[in-house]
Amino acid sequence: MEKIEHSTIPTNGINLHVASIGTGPVVLFLHGFPELWYSWRHQLLSLSALGYRAIAPDLRGYGDSDAPPSAASYTAHHIVGDLVGLLDHLGIDKVFLVGHDWGAIVAWYLCLFRPDRVKALVNLSVPFRPRNPTRKPVESFKALFGEDFYMCRFQSFLWYSNDIHVHVIPSRY
């Protein structure tokens, strides 16, 4: 049985950790929050056995990939640039793209910015929602899903500085 290979790819000014296996048409898997390439390990093995090359990077800021310190380094343009650089480095023209959660959002933007690099898209958990130019993404999440939506909840420094049980297990649960 083939084993998943790990490499570090320089792209767009950072280094991405990449897990890959197989040969053939390429399926690129993009993980969600708070996940890593490892979330796709079973799919990597299964698709490689079916004749595909399966690739799953740790996205910018996750796992063994570089994490630039500035929040301004995490725009859709930066992350899509990372993926285009990854494909260029590996000599891949087009991919079948699979995204989950945060990876689905990134996948939507890769399709919008560089449709020439995508054969097909499968996204799990997150429909496309264009950015609202009048408010920040977290404000949009709060308006749509409420304060308890996980992406809203993780914004608070209190999660990291105080007794986590006070914030994780509210009395109403």
- Judge whether residue 147 has pLDDT over 50: yes
User: How large is the average pLDDT for residues 37-43?
Assistant: 98
pLDDT one-digit tens code per residue, 45-84: 999 999 999 999 999 999 999 999 999 999 999 999 999 9
Phi-psi region of 13 (alpha: psi -120 to 50; beta: other; left: phi over 0): left
CA-CA-CA-CA torsion sign (93, 99, 102, 107) = positive
pLDDT one-digit tens code per residue, 107-140: 999 999 999 999 999 999 988 888 788 888 788 8
CB 114 within 8 A of CB 80: yes
Residue 157: band (very low, low, confident or very high) from pLDDT cuts 50, 70, 90: low
Domains and CATH numbers, the chain: 5-128 (3.40.50.1820), 131-173 (no CATH)
User: How large is the average pLDDT for residues 144-163?
Assistant: 69
pTM value? Answer: 0.83
Q: What pLDDT does residue 88 have?
A: 99
